[in-house]
């Protein structure tokens, strides 16, 4: 059969994922279990950096997902923070899906939405597992008020979380105000905190979703009330805070690189004993989490998660009869050319 190639634009991606928070979280959980069982291939991410644009980067995440729905592929995602003042989103991305039998790519999907969804679903999944057997936090604080924060709130709310109070803080007062206005559509008590310390101290679940390139939260005392922390942006917390916390990661080898907070902590002490477990360990009951320290989840973000969500989107669009197939995309399919 002649391989076919389809392009799935963002509107179709959004439509396929809207209102499906619980099913997407289940997809992410399945992918984490496959990864923990050694049924994935997830090489290190590759960073393309620019000497003349030090704040910008493009990252390649190759991966292979096994199980009942195997797929190979690559996420190619850019982060250009200077887009934000002009009103353009910071991140843009595409996801390529490859047939594991032939190696041929069969789809290119707009992936900024897929990336945000898998990040938010991973955060919601971790929040659920880290709180099993204990009272759920009722006061959440969002440190960083961009698209990822919005998606994380959507996934927390969509998977049954309810909050008595929501706090927000951002280095941009305008972004904090706009996010607070958005949250007030569904939350009763939403407060903007000008002080980052006040945000942390008043929250028992803290979500870090910033574009920070180095630690800027440095006081362990802010966390004396032992909150749970979804450290999604990875570089906000100082090594001192990391070392004073219980640390859960998605993948040890992946997260200990690229000057993440836990990587800096490893460099500080010369070992990785402060990493308590992975999320897979928590899900399989291999560890018991203490209650007397801040509990920090630091996920580097695995390409296999993007593949799981991307394949789901592709199949939903195909099922609905909406695939945009590019006719003749593959041309040279005969070893010695077409017959004369």
Pairing of β 91-98 and β 40-41: unpaired
Distance between CA atoms of 91 and 128, rounded to whole angstroms? 27
Helix (H, G, I), strand (E, B) or coil at 71: strand
Task: Give residue-wise pLDDT tens across range 217-266.
Answer: 999 999 999 999 999 999 999 999 999 999 999 999 999 999 999 999 99
Task: Give residue-wise pLDDT tens across range 29-79.
Answer: 999 999 999 999 999 999 999 999 998 999 999 999 999 999 999 999 999
Architecture in CATH for domain 6-114+303-325: 2-Layer Sandwich (3.30)
Please state, as a whole number, how many other Cβ atoms lie within 10 Å of the Cβ of residue 288.
9
Q: 126-130, 143-147, 287-291 — which is least confidently predicted? A: 287-291
Domain boundaries, the chain: 6-114+303-325, 121-298
Question: Would residue 321 be called left, alpha or beta, if left means φ above 0 and alpha means ψ between -120 and 50 degrees?
Answer: left
Q: Does residue 154 contact residue 124 with C-beta atoms inside 8 Å?
A: no
Give pairs for 10-17: CB < 8 Å, separation 24+: 10/110, 10/112, 10/113, 12/313, 12/317, 12/322, 13/109, 13/110, 13/111, 13/113, 13/114, 13/313, 14/113, 16/312, 16/313, 16/316, 16/317, 17/113, 17/114, 17/117, 17/309, 17/313
- Which class does domain 121-298 fall in? alpha beta
User: Residue 340: what pLDDT?
Assistant: 67
The band of 333, judged by pLDDT with boundaries at 50, 70 and 90, is: confident
- Is residue 307's pLDDT more than 90? yes
User: Residue 130: what pLDDT?
Assistant: 94
Of residues 215 and 86, more confidence is placed in 215
User: Residue 1: what pLDDT?
Assistant: 72
User: Residue 83: what pLDDT?
Assistant: 92
User: Residue 143: what pLDDT?
Assistant: 98
Distance between CA atoms of 192 and 99, rounded to whole angstroms? 47
């Amino acid at each position: 059969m002649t391989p076919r190639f389809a392009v799935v634009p963002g509107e179709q991606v959004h439509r396929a994922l809207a209102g499906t928070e619980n099913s997407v979280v289940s997809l992410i959980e399945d992918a984490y279990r496959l990864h923990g069982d050694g049924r994935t291939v997830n090489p290190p991410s590759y960073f393309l950096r620019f000497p003349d644009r030090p704040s910008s980067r493009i990252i390649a995440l190759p991966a292979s997902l096994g199980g009942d729905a195997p797929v190979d592929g690559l996420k190619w995602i850019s982060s250009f923070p200077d887009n934000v003042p002009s009103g353009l989103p910071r991140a843009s991305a595409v996801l390529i899906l490859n047939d594991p039998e032939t190696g041929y790519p069969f789809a290119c999907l707009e992936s900024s939405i897929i990336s945000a969804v898998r990040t938010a679903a991973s955060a919601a999944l971790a929040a659920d597992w880290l709180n099993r057997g204990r009272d759920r936090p009722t006061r959440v604080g969002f440190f960083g008020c961009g698209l990822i924060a919005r998606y994380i709130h959507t996934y927390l709310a969509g998977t049954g979380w309810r909050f008595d109070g929501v706090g927000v803080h951002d280095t941009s007062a305008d972004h904090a105000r706009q996010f607070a206005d958005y949250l007030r559509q569904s939350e009763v008590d939403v407060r903007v905190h000008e002080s980052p310390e006040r945000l942390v101290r008043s929250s028992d679940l803290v979500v870090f979703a910033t574009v920070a390139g180095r630690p800027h939260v440095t006081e362990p005392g802010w966390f004396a009330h032992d909150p749970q922390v979804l450290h999604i942006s990875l570089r906000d917390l100082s090594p001192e805070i990391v070392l004073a916390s219980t640390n859960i990661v998605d993948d040890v080898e992946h997260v200990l690189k690229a000057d993440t907070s836990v990587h800096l902590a490893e460099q500080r002490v010369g070992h990785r004993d402060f990493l308590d477990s992975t999320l897979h360990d928590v899900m399989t009951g291999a560890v018991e989490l203490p209650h007397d320290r801040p509990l920090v989840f630091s996920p580097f973000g695995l390409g296999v998660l993007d593949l799981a969500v991307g394949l789901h989107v592709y199949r939903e669009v195909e099922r609905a009869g909406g695939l945009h197939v590019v006719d003749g995309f593959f041309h040279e399919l005969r070893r010695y050319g077409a017959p004369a």
